[in-house]
Amino acid sequence: MKIEDPKAVKWTLIGITAAFLAVMLVLPLTYVLFTAFRSGLEGFVAAVTDKYALHAVYLTVIVTLMAVAVNVVFGLYTAWALTKFSFRGKKLLSTIIDLPLTVSPIIAGLIFVLTFGRQSVLYPYLSDLHIKIIFAVPGIVLATVFVTFPFISREIIPVLNAQGKDEEEAAALMGAGAFRIFRQITFPHIKWAFMYGVVLCTARAMGEFGAVSVLSGHLRGKTNTMPLYIEILYQGYDFTGAFAVSSLLVVMAILILIARNVLEHRSKAQYLKNRRKA
């Protein structure tokens, strides 16, 4: 058998990938589900309908929605600013946006503890206003926003860069205002990349552990998101509970993956449709 034989290469590569995924993903996931149902369906239902478990799900959804909402606005603005204008410090800004991807989430958490915690200069003002950030929901939202903020802008920036400024300039010359230009010219172009960014951002926000862990204070029924709650259960040797809640998180992640694939498929279909017409 020659190594150049494309069929052999193809099946070898597929085989390696499949084996890798089996060991790294399928096996653990199966084990999660297996453990979750080890004490029967009742045990699973009891674990996921537990008061604290439900609150963790609720908090995760709320935090995710808020973080995604903030990052949608932030991501669009940044991408717009970085691609449509030239200004001093543009490169620096562009680099800083990527910081959450490179810095450890623990450090992200600590940054906020230092900024808003007891030792911070801001603390007296915040406590005067009865605003509690550390060990409270706002802190968790902040941490999640920080960790997920590159996702949306990073998806949009390449698309905007490839598009150039001509169409926007043309629209501006015809008297269009900034909002109309965005709505009618820019957004149709970045729609799919934007939605893809939202999906990635959502997935990351749901699963964030490190930064949230530092800021949350692990208060059951108050500041525990799903990943934190799972950890607590696990540390308490409640394997059924931990894996039951884990399986919920996995199902949510799978739903997001499906959403992602649907989006990808659609954008491809739209692209092909336009091409075919041309």
Partner 1 sequence: MTQNSASKDQKESGQTPQGSRQIRELDQANDASLPGGRTTQPEADAAGSENTYVELRHVSKSFGDFKASDDVSFTVEKGKLAGLLGPSGSGKTTILRILAGLETADSGDILIDGKVVNDIPASKRGIGFVFQSYALFRYMTVFDNIAFGLAIKKTDRKIIAEKVNHLIELVGLAGLGGRYPTQLSGGQRQRVAFARALATEPHLLLLDEPFAAIDAKVRKELRGWLKELIQRVGITSIFVTHDQDEAIEVADQIIITNRGHVERSGSPLEIYNNPQSSFVTQFVGQPTVIENPGRFKGFRRLGDKGGKAVLRPEFISVTKIGEPLKYVITAEDAVVEESYFRGGDFELRVRVNDQLLTVNRPITQEPIRVGEQVKIFISSLYLLDGDKAVTVMNESLSNRSSIYEI
- Interface residues toward partner 1, by CB under 8 A: 164, 166-167, 169-177, 180, 184-185, 188-189, 274-275, 277-278
Shortest separation between residue 164's beta carbon and partner 1, angstroms: 7
- Residue 107 CB, shortest distance to partner 1, in Å, is 37
Pick 189 or 222: Cβ nearer partner 1? 189
Which CB sits closer to partner 1, 116 or 196?
A: 196
The CA radius of gyration of the chain, in Å to the nearest whole number, is 23
Q: Phi/psi of residue 122, each to 5°?
A: -80, -20
| Cα distances (angstroms) measured from residue 252 to each of 116, 194, 204, 234, 248 | 32, 20, 12, 20, 6
3-state helix, strand, coil split of the chain in percent (to 5) is 80, 0, 20
Least distance CB 77 / partner 1 (angstroms): 21
* Minimum distance, C-beta of residue 260 to partner 1, in the bound complex (Å): 23
CA of 150: how far to CAs of 21, 63, 88, 121, 240, in Å?
A: 27, 17, 21, 28, 35
Quick one: tokens of 2?
């020659």
- Of the pair 70, 172, the CB lying nearest partner 1 is at 172
The torsion angles phi and psi of 193, rounded to 5 degrees, stand at -60, -40
Q: Which is nearer to partner 1, 6 or 188 (CB)?
A: 188
CB of 165: closest distance to partner 1 in angstroms? Answer: 9
Least CB distance to partner 1 at residue 79 (A): 18
Q: Which of 62, 76, 74 is nearest to 222 (CA)?
A: 62
Q: Is the CB of residue 148 less than 8 Å from the CB of residue 99?
A: no
> CB-wise, 49 or 184, nearer to partner 1?
184
CB of 157 to partner 1, least distance (A): 19
Question: Residue 120 or 163: which CB sits closer to partner 1?
Answer: 163
Question: Cβ(238)–Cβ(30) under 8 Å?
Answer: no
Q: Which is nearer to partner 1, 180 or 220 (CB)?
A: 180
Q: Kindly tell me which of 168 and 208 has the beta carbon lying closer to partner 1.
A: 168
b/e burial code for range 84-108 (CB count within 10 A of at least 16 → b): beeeeeeeeeeeebeebeeeebeeb
- CA atoms of 37 and 45, how far apart (whole Å): 9
Tokens matching residue 58: 């609720």
Q: How far is the CB of 6 from partner 1 (least distance, A)?
A: 34
